[in-house]
Copies of this chain bind each other. A is one copy, B any other.
Amino acid sequence: MQQNLTAQSRLLSVLPVTRQLTDRGEERRQQIITFATKRFAEKGYHPTSVAEIVDGIGVGKGVFYWYFSSKEELFIAILRDAQLDLRRCQQAALDPAADALDRISEGIRASVRWTADHPDLAVLVAFATTDERFAPMIRKGSRIATTDVMRHVEEAIAAELVSVTDAEMATRAMIGITTTLTREFLHDSTRTTDDVAEAAVEFCLGVLQAISAGRS
């Protein structure tokens, strides 16, 4: 048994992708991610050099490539972590017992809060959208997020709680409102995060009650 385990971990250690990290190694990796996230958000992905990152942390260049196979991979790791974390937060905010509209509202509040807590990541995602190499990843994440929310919108439609009929478009519109409001008012000291969240909720509910143009 002991032997089996040893053999297995040695096998894994041959694959750099799944390199087994010690506690100290895991800390270093996080340190790089944290520092790079800040720099990327401040200066942009391309203008930030690997040299700048390792110098900022105070380690040699080799350290970077011990943990990440390239600058690109690091950025992807940051995005992946961000998407996972945001989704986790959103789902943690949901009360399965609440009605669809309440679940949507809570999801919006969670999103606003998360972005307020991670302003750098919002910038990074915006950039990623514009770069061919990262855009697919963002689109995929975006599709998942849309699906997550759309489920509740469809329920609301089925329960006749709302007047919209096109769940997908309404969902996208709601995401657009939330994203935009949060981004724009992030550095506006006259509004608190909660103000923004409540406004986003209110407007999104407005969207769901929109009267179809044809019906007027």
A: which residues have CB within 8 A of B?
Answer: 10-11, 13-14, 42-47, 55, 58, 123-124, 126-127, 129-132, 164, 166, 169-170, 172-173, 175-181, 184-185, 198-203, 205-213, 215
In the A-B complex, the 9 residue pairs with the closest CB atoms: A176-B180, A206-B210, A46-B46, A127-B130, A176-B176, A173-B203, A206-B206, A173-B177, A206-B207
Contacts A164-B206, A180-B180 supplied; 10 other A-B pairs, CB < 8 Å: A42-B132, A44-B132, A123-B130, A124-B130, A172-B181, A173-B200, A177-B207, A205-B215, A206-B207, A206-B210
Pairwise interchain contact A173-B169, C-beta atoms closer than 8 A? no
Complex Cα gap A49–B14 (Å): 15
Inter-chain contacts of A169 with B (CB < 8 A): 181, 185, 199, 203
CB of B177 within 8 A of CB of A130, answer no
A46 contacts which chain B residues (CB < 8 A)?
44-47
CA of A212 to CA of B55, assembled, Å: 50
Secondary structure call for the A interface: helix
Out of B44, B185, B212, name the residue touching A131 (CB < 8 Å): B44
Task: Select A208's contact among B172, B178, B205, B206, beta carbons within 8 Å.
Answer: B206
- B203-A211 in contact (CB<8A): no
Taking the nearest CB of chain B, how far is it from the CB of A28, in angstroms? 15
Tell me which of B10, B45, B173 contacts A181 (CB under 8 A). B173
Shortest distance from the beta carbon of A124 to any chain B beta carbon, whole Å = 8
Bound Cα distance A126, B215 (Å): 33
Could you list 30 examples of A-B contacts with CB < 8 Å? A10-B58, A45-B46, A46-B46, A47-B131, A123-B130, A124-B130, A166-B199, A169-B185, A170-B203, A172-B184, A172-B185, A173-B177, A173-B180, A173-B181, A173-B203, A176-B179, A179-B180, A180-B180, A198-B213, A199-B213, A201-B213, A202-B210, A202-B212, A202-B213, A203-B207, A203-B210, A206-B207, A206-B211, A207-B207, A209-B211
